[in-house]
Amino acid sequence: MSRRIVVTGVGAVTPLGVGARTALERWVSGESGLESGAGRCDEFAPTEFMSKKEARRTDRFTQLAIAAAGEALAEAGFDDGPPPNAGRVGCIIATGVGGIRSIEEGYDALRDKGPEAVSPLVVPMLMPNAAAGNVALRHRLTGPSHSVASACAAGADAIGTAARLIQCDEADAVVTGGSESALNTLAEAAFASMGATSESGISRPFDARRDGFVMGEGAGVLVLEAAESAAERGHPVLGEVIGYGASSDAHHITAPEPSGEGAVRAIKFALEEAGLAPEQVDYVNAHGTSTPLNDRVETQALKRALGERAGQIPVSSTKSVIGHTLGAAGAVEAIVTLMALRERVAPPTVNWEEREEGLDLDYVPESRPLQTADPERAVGLSDAFGFGGHNAVLCLEAR
């Protein structure tokens, strides 16, 4: 990367609780945020983060993003009014399905009471860019702002897009990440109808008994900043985005290409940009959805992209404890990856017990200290693959 991209703040709301550090701590201790086959952010109360009026006017996916962004901006030192040079601060927040709950509620009003009863808030609540727009508005960030839509790869693609904006000198900092809340009846029925979600309600990525993903809601937001910008204002750095690789399967609208070729290319692009050999990778935060197909193809892809190194390093899935947060997943997982690299810990794939033939990586049944190739730094990959054939991989580093 030409301009170095550092992370100066992170925030998250997940089924494990409110806060990025809370998520990592509880995950490392083996706690799960999943209950009755879903990952709900039960500890999140919107009016603790915004006025009653703002809460009324926003879909839950936007509310989660507002809370996560507040935490990230506070850590980055930008919580007290707009940052200086706000015109050089962008806001790119992804989502998979946007305000799908608001679509459903709007349709309920239309069907039951007629067009006159449809709320004027339906559009500003359902639009996929509502999280980006509301976060920018709230913090008066006036640089480039939009959403990114690439299904379950969206959170990672947003971070990659934000990094590119800084590299191209379109911005000095970007508030970026992903947000999702699709635990409503329409979304649940639609994903179940595809056969994507787990009938057992158990998320067990890479385990022989896995039977689909468990839906989760949440948001993850990071403040990315040009290294020189953070240095100039003397702000501490949490880590660095050193590579982003993206590709498309162009194979099937929902199924991954069986050889994993698209994923392999995305992983290689991320490593190339980081200037790293596979031997320098210490940890992989897998996409690991707990679907039969993803976990098999991802395992093959990691082996092809990293060679022998794939079998020597911990590979774990955050989805084992928060479920699949769709468009938030890539962002939440990048955040906990960075935190884990900082703490030099390999968090676990909770529920992984039974090995399946061919799925022979180290899936980390219990958390343990992370060994690093270089004593000075820890390097990790965070995978995200989405319906539509989108593959996005981030390479992250913590000193």
**124 counts as binding other proteins under rule CB under 8 A:** yes
**45 counts as binding other proteins under rule CB under 8 A:** no
Are the C-beta atoms of residues 30 and 366 closer than 8 Å to each other?
Answer: yes
Determine the size of the site formed for other proteins (CB under 8 A): 11
Is 324 known to be catalytic?
yes
Detail the DSSP E strand segments found in 276-389: 283-285, 315-316, 345-346, 368-369, 378-386
Select from 121, 137, 208, 237 the one that contacts other proteins (CB under 8 A): 121
Q: In angstroms, rounded to a whole number, what is the distance separating the alpha carbons of residues 214 and 205?
A: 10
**137 counts as binding other proteins under rule CB under 8 A:** no
Select from 53, 80, 112, 375 the one that contacts other proteins (CB under 8 A): 53
**117 counts as binding other proteins under rule CB under 8 A:** yes
**119 counts as binding other proteins under rule CB under 8 A:** yes
Residue placing its CB nearer to other proteins in the complex, 113 or 368: 113
Shortest spacing between CB 74 and other proteins, in angstroms:
24
Amino acid at 300: Q
Task: List b or e across 347-386, with b for residues whose CB sees 16 or more CB atoms inside 10 angstroms.
Answer: bbbbbbeeeeeebebebbeebeebebbeeebbbbbbbbbb
Binding window for other proteins (CB under 8 A); candidates: 78-86, 115-123, 290-298, 391-399 = 115-123
Residue placing its CB nearer to other proteins in the complex, 59 or 282: 59
Select from 4, 40, 57, 138 the one that contacts other proteins (CB under 8 A): 57
Residue placing its CB nearer to other proteins in the complex, 117 or 277: 117
**56 counts as binding other proteins under rule CB under 8 A:** yes
Shortest spacing between CB 306 and other proteins, in angstroms:
51
Shortest spacing between CB 46 and other proteins, in angstroms:
13
Select from 2, 80, 81, 120 the one that contacts other proteins (CB under 8 A): 120
Select from 2, 36, 52, 369 the one that contacts other proteins (CB under 8 A): 52
Strand partners, 70: none
Residue placing its CB nearer to other proteins in the complex, 53 or 376: 53
Of 2, 120, 124, 115, nearest to 59 (Cα)? Answer: 124
Residue placing its CB nearer to other proteins in the complex, 121 or 192: 121
Given the residues 41, 139, 324, 395, the one annotated as active site: 324
Cα three-residue angle 163-168-169, rounded to 5 degrees = 100
Detail the DSSP E strand segments found in the chain: 5-14, 17-18, 89-94, 145-146, 173-180, 218-226, 239-248, 283-285, 315-316, 345-346, 368-369, 378-386, 390-398
**111 counts as binding other proteins under rule CB under 8 A:** no
Residue placing its CB nearer to other proteins in the complex, 54 or 188: 54
Residue placing its CB nearer to other proteins in the complex, 120 or 358: 120
Is 287 known to be catalytic?
yes
Shortest spacing between CB 124 and other proteins, in angstroms:
7
160-164: which pairs have CB atoms within 8 A and are 24 or more residues apart? 160/244, 160/246, 160/392, 160/394, 161/92, 162/90, 162/92, 162/224, 163/1, 163/5, 163/224, 163/241, 163/244, 164/244
Binding window for other proteins (CB under 8 A); candidates: 21-29, 99-107, 112-120, 375-383 = 112-120
Count the neighbouring beta carbons within 10 Å of the beta carbon of residue 189: 10
Given the residues 41, 91, 152, 395, the one annotated as active site: 152
Detail the DSSP E strand segments found in 79-231: 89-94, 145-146, 173-180, 218-226
DSSP SS3 for 244: strand
Binding window for other proteins (CB under 8 A); candidates: 45-53, 90-98, 276-284, 364-372 = 45-53
Q: In angstroms, rounded to a whole number, what is the distance separating the alpha carbons of residues 110 and 128?
A: 21
**DSSP class per residue in 75-100:** HTT--SSSPTTGGGEEEEEE-SS-SH
Is 41 known to be catalytic?
no
108 Cβ contact partners less than 8 Å away, ≥ 6 residues apart: none
Residue placing its CB nearer to other proteins in the complex, 52 or 111: 52
Shortest spacing between CB 58 and other proteins, in angstroms:
12
Query: Which residues are identified as catalytic?
Result: 152, 287, 324
Binding site residues, other proteins, CB under 8 A: 51-53, 56-57, 116-117, 119-121, 124
